[in-house]
Amino acid sequence: MNISLVIPLFNEAESIPDLFSWIQRVMTEHKFSYEVIFVNDGSTDKSWDIIKSLQAEHPEVKGIKFRRNYGKSPALYCGFKRAEGDVIITLDADLQDSPDEIPELYKMITEEDYDLVSGWKKKRHDRKLTKNIPSKIYNATARHITGLKLHDMNCGLKAYRKIVIKNIEVYGEMHRYLPYLAKNAGFTKIGEKVVHHQKRKFGESKFGMNRFINGYLDLITLWFLNKFGKKPMHFFGLVGSLMFMIGLVAIIVVGVMKLTDLANGIPARLVTDLPAFYLSLTCMILGVLLFLTGFLGELISRNAPERNNYIIEENV
């Protein structure tokens, strides 16, 4: 099979028929063998009924229905698990992503040998200051931290080589960072394509301003896990040891100053009356706690079932 289309959706009943007709036309014109996997993320409208009616008439249509709304990442995870095509393409169900982009995305994966191609909605039709300015700041930060020169990390229109989606796990709200997850798994040939952005035809956007806050938190989490996930002692142990040594040196200095004053007959305050004593003690305690955190992290990491999960590209 050439292509698997994975389409997560939530309350998009009005868009589904038009979207499938559009996909069907593009696939027929280019003679692709394909499947369309609709993942109904707990919709409360008629979305699932429409998916079932399409499936009854078109065997290439498949559907997954969640009992409640879990989010885009779980929807993609289940869609990826079921996908069987050589190239997997994701797009949103709101008709803002154009299926006409599919042939070129497929070509970039199969002929230009990209592992992943991310769409870039360079010219948008939802010009809102509350949306576009935070998006530009967010994408600039993501480029700096991930090292990926992508202009639209969160674009729903992406294409993947099959081996990529079978070897990365998307969870929580990490769908924003699928290119970064792929890079961390060793798939480094990641490209970008300018794609056409359609104005929303039905309904309203399901995403609010909170996605930018959550996006930054998820980005920090991914960066930390990639750098220290399998070696937590390298972070917590180092920071804990430094804090302990700083506290120890400081408390020794306080003690020496007290003894020097006594030796010279200079009246001195009790050590326990000095703020520096308590700051030094606090620093030492925090250092020990951080070191123990790293030690416990190492024990958990060493006993994790996926500790030796490696992607083998080729055996001879």
Mean pLDDT of 273-289: 89
Torsion of CA 302, 304, 307, 311, to 10 degrees: 180
**Rounded to 10 degrees, what is the CA torsion of 302, 308, 309, 314?**
160
CB-based contacts of 184: which residues, under 8 Å, 6+ apart? 222, 226
CATH second-level architecture of 3-228? Alpha-Beta Complex (3.90)
> For residue 176, what pLDDT band results from cuts at 50, 70 and 90?
confident
Separation of first and last alpha carbons in the chain? 27
Give this prediction's pTM. 0.77
Cα 111 from Cα 104, distance rounded (Å): 10
The pLDDT of 221-240, averaged and rounded, is 83
Q: Which of 115-119, 126-130, 284-288, 297-301 shows the lowest per-residue confidence on average (mean pLDDT)? A: 126-130
Cβ distance 121 to 195 under 8 Å? yes
Sorting pLDDT into bands at 50, 70 and 90, what band is 80? very high
CA distance 46 to 10: 10
Higher pLDDT, 231 or 46: 46
Please check the confidence at residue 97 and state whether its pLDDT lies above 80: yes
Of the listed ranges 59-73, 104-118, 302-316, the one predicted with least confidence: 302-316
Contact 118, 192 (CB under 8 A): yes
Q: Per residue in 119-175, pLDDT tens?
A: 998 877 665 555 667 777 878 888 888 889 898 888 899 999 999 999 988 887 888
Q: Looking at residues 304-310, what average pLDDT do you find?
A: 62
Q: Where are the domains of the chain?
A: 3-228, 233-303
Among 172, 182, 119, CA closest to 146: 182
What pLDDT, on the 0 to 100 scale, is given for residue 48?
Answer: 95
pLDDT at 172: 78
